[in-house]
Structure 1
């Protein structure tokens, strides 16, 4: 049986790992990158705290001991259900079962100016681009003879008060406290130039009141300017325009809010629902299809009694769906009964600053140093490869002890025709 998996994120990779021991299946992974990476730690790459290699691992290295696993580097162009093939930009592949696990992409809610000029953080490439942008702006500030553009270069506006926005704001504030003062003595007030903008009344909206209060308290103490009940409406002429009429001058708008499922051309329109997610049944089979499945953030499943409006787009949902689908495909082969998917909510966590984190478990919430330790432990376990776990643990230990990570390198591809150009 040929199984083609499109997308090597949490869902796709856990599906493959769970099915790989069954030699009756020949599995091919299709991904535009040749590596798996760990999205929850992208913000630490963007803030020069850890290296990209700490949170990434090559697919081919991962598959080298499995004879029934193959990797195809390419981007999905179209699904052809009528003849069981998919078209990619690097060739056509046939399948007996197709598993779609493409995840999401940044949603700019139709704001073209924001899409063109803001800084997203969904991929390794985008995290490195953000790192370069922030470091270059710091270098520009210390060279400036005039102060007319100073605030615009120093101001960093983070749109989105969810876990990513909170974690990024905390990390940037701590970098301003421990590093900017030493390495950029010309800049005395870096922390006061950080803005965290959220359209809702609280930070960490899906989490508990304990977590929300703690996040706001810690970030305000770090000097972050928190703007609540205001959404970004536009980004024009170097100014972020908020829904309450306020304007913030900046050359760094970091977009950490809103996602939309990646498009899957070739599937019927009736299989697509809100957020461009694919409708699936209790076994993650795409509606109207006999051998096409969708997992994780890409799918919309209403059959789980505890989540009649669909599951949250979280890593744990993707991981659990991937593992169960692998079991169910084996059961189909052996003509065993299938098991419907039910999400087991293990809780959620967010790190706010050094030694400060919040955790919501199914029966209780906690915060502070212990939550921070738990967060570190939980974020090392899922990393692929023993070497990656050891490298990350050492990097974290050294950086937290010294308050001085050494990864602030401005590295730009040689193919950039004008590496010194400034963002418009």
Structure 2
């Protein structure tokens, strides 16, 4: 029991996950009369908004990750255990992990989110995702491996499928990675692959809805679409990818885009923890909480961030799955835990929207601020860079990211196009860290002439 944690008379607050919410909560409790225990399968904090830049070679993985133990060096009430969480037992206030059981006085679920494939088994089996650093490195390797293969094949249809990239999901992640890939096609790939006709490379962004960047303003949606059009990204709205197999991304029973590279950025579910009553788990796997972030019916269990489903009058589907929500909930929960320890009534949480933003490419970004304030272009791009640079954990990471961005901006180049570990879908792991079953489709028999790229009719 307790995995060799020190015996203490102080109440123990166990936090599952060291993402934006878990990190902020543990820091906010640094002077509190509690013992803080963080459990995470990774020994680093991962800055997810910049994963796509690792995937496209703009940043190195080390510049968006920071060791958990180093973050909390000097915080005397902090303890960390590297483990997978297996189950929570509310009846005994115990958390079962892969390294043993941990007793808690208060448990905080800050587990974040997992990719939602909406039950599309062929896509879950064959598509690439971008939710973790290993995902990003795998995607980078996979893209460059396919360009190496494209050099070796004389089959025009196979070459086309190896070079085409389909990004599914028109949210910030989908828009940002599509723009980054378009920049790479323009500035980087011609230098490395002069033997290939890169005019044939096509980048598709497929969105099931009628607009890109659905939660943002109409002005941001229009600007993002215009920027992507200027970059040569083929944006397909009101279109759903229904199946991905035999190197074909089907958007109907018979119509498809030939591609070996499908990046799934279309949706997320909450990363629920086994052991909670099923009635508190919402349809999207988020955990239902009250305005104190307390799990329904559980006096000692709380949830914050992406996994917390806090419904308000303004947001009947729950607060958005954004880093600022997680950070604000973490700070508020830290105050409420102290109130509970003093026997006081907790205060309700109120989210303060500070705006949203998305970058498309160099000098092209969109920003929405409260009060219907919108701006774009180079000013929006500079704002996006500043905010993300300041949010990175660790001085070294800020410096490295700034230097890498400056190098890319002035040289129109990206130095990190490395295949460090050749990737096969056979080796892919799911979001829970478990190795998946056979994860690669057979190479199809292509026709002697390349099939036309079949696009949906305009709605």
Name 1:184's counterpart in structure 2: 193
Give the CA deviation at 1:336. 3.8
CA distance in 2, matches of 1:414, 1:168: 19
Q: Structure 2 matches for 1:45-84, cutoff 5 A?
A: 45-84=54-93
Name 1:328's counterpart in structure 2: 336
Give the CA deviation at 1:307. 2.5
Please say if 1:262 is aligned against 2:262: no
Name 1:284's counterpart in structure 2: 293
Contact map agreement 1:2 1:95 (CA 8 A) in 2: yes
CA distance in 1, matches of 2:423, 2:128: 21
Please say if 1:31 is aligned against 2:54: no
Please say if 1:9 is aligned against 2:19: yes
Give the CA deviation at 1:286. 0.4
Contact map agreement 1:191 1:224 (CA 8 A) in 2: no
User: TM-score under structure 1 normalisation?
Assistant: 0.95
State the superposition RMSD in angstroms. 2.0
* Residue-by-residue CA offset, 1:65-123 (whole Å, 9 max, x unaligned): 11111111111110011111111112111100000011110111111110010001000
Name the CA shift for 1:275/1:415 in 2 (closer, same or farther; >3 Å).
closer
Name 2:353's counterpart in structure 1: 345
CA distance in 1, matches of 2:426, 2:351: 48
Contact map agreement 1:54 1:388 (CA 8 A) in 2: yes
CA distance in 2, matches of 1:15, 1:388: 21
SS in 1 for 2:74: coil
* Residue-by-residue CA offset, 1:318-343 (whole Å, 9 max, x unaligned): 11001110111112222344221111
Give the CA deviation at 1:301. 1.2
Please say if 1:20 is aligned against 2:30: yes
* Residue-by-residue CA offset, 1:38-79 (whole Å, 9 max, x unaligned): 111000000011001111000011122111111111111100
Contact map agreement 1:191 1:222 (CA 8 A) in 2: no
Name 2:231's counterpart in structure 1: 222
Contact map agreement 2:167 2:205 (CA 8 A) in 1: yes
SS in 2 for 1:232: coil
**Between 405-414 and 375-384, the greater mean CA deviation after superposition:** 405-414
* Residue-by-residue CA offset, 1:322-372 (whole Å, 9 max, x unaligned): 111011111222234422111100110000110100001111111100000
Give the CA deviation at 1:273. 1.4
Contact map agreement 2:162 2:259 (CA 8 A) in 1: yes
CA distance in 1, matches of 2:423, 2:240: 37
Q: Structure 2 matches for 1:368-379, cutoff 5 A?
A: 368-379=377-388
Please say if 1:412 is aligned against 2:412: no
CA distance in 2, matches of 1:338, 1:53: 39
Give the CA deviation at 1:386. 1.1
**Between 306-315 and 46-55, the greater mean CA deviation after superposition:** 306-315
Give the CA deviation at 1:208. 0.9
Q: Structure 2 matches for 1:248-259, cutoff 5 A?
A: 248-259=257-268
Name 1:92's counterpart in structure 2: 101
Structure 2 alignment gaps of length 5 or more: 1-10, 429-438, 443-459
Give the CA deviation at 1:28. 0.7
Contact map agreement 1:173 1:191 (CA 8 A) in 2: no
Please say if 1:317 is aligned against 2:325: yes
SS in 2 for 1:330: helix
SS in 1 for 2:359: strand
Name the CA shift for 1:134/1:414 in 2 (closer, same or farther; >3 Å).
closer
CA distance in 2, matches of 1:295, 1:338: 15
Number of residue pairs the alignment of both structures matches: 421
Name the CA shift for 1:308/1:79 in 2 (closer, same or farther; >3 Å).
same
User: TM-score under structure 2 normalisation?
Assistant: 0.88
Structure 1 alignment gaps of length 5 or more: none
SS in 1 for 2:14: strand
Give the CA deviation at 1:190. 5.0
Contact map agreement 1:202 1:212 (CA 8 A) in 2: yes
CA distance in 2, matches of 1:387, 1:189: 36
Give the CA deviation at 1:423. 6.0
